[in-house]
Amino acid sequence: MAPVMDSVASFISREHQLFIGGEFVPSKGTSRLDVYNPADDTVLTTAAAAGAEDIDAAVAAARAALPEWRALPAARRAELLWNRGTRITELADEFAQIDTLNNGKTTADAMAVDIPLVTGLLKYYAGWATKLEGRTITPMGGSNFHVYTRREPIGVVGAIIPWNFPLLMCGYKLGPALATGNTIVLKPAEQTPLSALRLAEIIREVGFPDGVINIVTGDGPGAGAPLAAHHGVDKITFTGETTTGQKIIDAAKGNMKKMSLELGGKSPSLVFADADLDAAVEGTFGAVYFNQGQCCIAGARVFVHDDIYDEFTQRLVDRVSQIRLGPGLDPDSTMGPLVSREQQTRVRGFIDSGVEQGATIVSDAQSPVPEQGYFVRPTVFTGATADMRIMREEIFGPVAVVGKFSDEEQAIAAANDTAFGLCSGVWTRDSARVHRVAAGIEAGTVYVNTYGMFDPAVPYGGFKMSGFGKELGEESLDSYLQTKTVWVNLD
């Protein structure tokens, strides 16, 4: 097991407060959040549980900072964002350990995925800060007007993020919000506040003006709900469960907040008979089990052509049996624990429901599961029908459901038989089929002969109940900007 770095141990043992107006300040209330290590079920530390008064203070700080932030040369905004990305890279080992200790993910995954993506996207959006332009338009009804558009920041952004990628999700929100000249109040998930708090220390160090970024730790009802409802917040950006997204829509309507919602999924992978089977097994495996299955994009419904169904399923089961469960700090672990006791109970409940409703577990039941910590045995189901809970609901755990199809039409119908529409995977060597299926699938992303690719320059976001408003890429900027039209009479 890798030892905990001194700098990480010293950070974790600090008295954690709220980051408001460039200062660490105590919460107005006295309640605290217990912050757990999911690998051994111990309390690592506590964090402040913000309430409505703290949210008021954070929103006021963000509003007060807006004029200075908007007036700052775009090149300076870019520099600050870029420098923060660089600083995270310098502290990569520290951030990776913090997320491992607090979220459970393996340090290898944090180093391979979370850290490069968060630094990459801060730098990508640093580039956009200097490239935001409006248009000049010649009105079709006459040319004695000079008409142009300005793309302006929306104002104060409220960001509410989940626990599955604690540091990375901060970057998803901070990058585009700040590049476009907004200020922000960010609430991490109550389970995983630590990397966001370490980030707050860097924000000070790098020199962001006070109040541009405020980080308030707290739970959903106590801190998230007042942030979503606050009339001083102009836009809300949320990543989390669809049912929470619906509550946020209700809370946000009071002052017509702009919104982008990145919600749940139940994504399909379609494996055709002509697929490269080695690649399909490995890709489908990663699609389901990466990050302990705690990904909105998890490709948890796998549909396989009849001709290769038996072979594919056996190979997937073999691959799953190679998983080594253990603490994320242990380099021999290939899968860590789930984030919380609650999540462990929930996922086990889904597995029980699958069995009760008549599906069959075909994965190895003998592999050891550590007793301490929130581990769940990676599971493969077959024989599930379309109405079962394991087919319809987002499990957010290491559970695959493998079904069959006999032709392309049936495959597309199975893929689309869900209320969600986040991602999908297609495994085939037939290039014409690729394009037919990509057009037929109702989802924001179609991965072809790959799965789970993310890049700061490539937009990502859901259809149907998976939300609206794209993240990443140039598209994300649109949801943080509003277009103002200026008509100038030339007479």
Task: Give the residue numbers annotated as catalytic, written as ranges.
Answer: 262, 296
264/392 Cα distance (integer angstroms): 12
417/384 Cα distance (integer angstroms): 14
For 455-487, give one letter per residue: b (16+ CB within 10 A) or e: ebeeebbbbbbbbbbbbbbeebbbbbbbeeeee
244/252 Cα distance (integer angstroms): 12
Binding residues vs ligand ADP (CB under 6 A): 160-162, 187, 189-190, 219-221, 224-225, 228, 240-241, 244, 247-248
The answer to whether 5 touches 303, Cβ cutoff 8 Å, is no
CB of residue 241 vs ligand ADP: minimum separation in angstroms?
Answer: 4
CB of residue 365 vs ligand ADP: minimum separation in angstroms?
Answer: 27
For ligand ADP, the closer CB: 50 or 320: 50
Burial class (CB in 10 A: 0-12, 13-18, 19+), 60: middle
Q: In this structure, which amino acid lies at residue 323?
A: I
Q: Is 416 helix (H, G, I), strand (E, B) or coil?
A: helix
CB of residue 76 vs ligand ADP: minimum separation in angstroms?
Answer: 31
341/352 Cα distance (integer angstroms): 16
For ligand ADP, the closer CB: 244 or 424: 244
The answer to whether 216 touches 54, Cβ cutoff 8 Å, is yes
For ligand ADP, the closer CB: 227 or 414: 227
348/355 Cα distance (integer angstroms): 11
CB of residue 72 vs ligand ADP: minimum separation in angstroms?
Answer: 29
Of 246, 182, 244, 254, the residue nearest 219 (C-alpha): 244
CB of residue 79 vs ligand ADP: minimum separation in angstroms?
Answer: 30
450/299 Cα distance (integer angstroms): 11
- CA torsion 413→420→167→102, rounded to 10°? -100
CB of residue 243 vs ligand ADP: minimum separation in angstroms?
Answer: 7
For ligand ADP, the closer CB: 271 or 339: 339
442/58 Cα distance (integer angstroms): 39
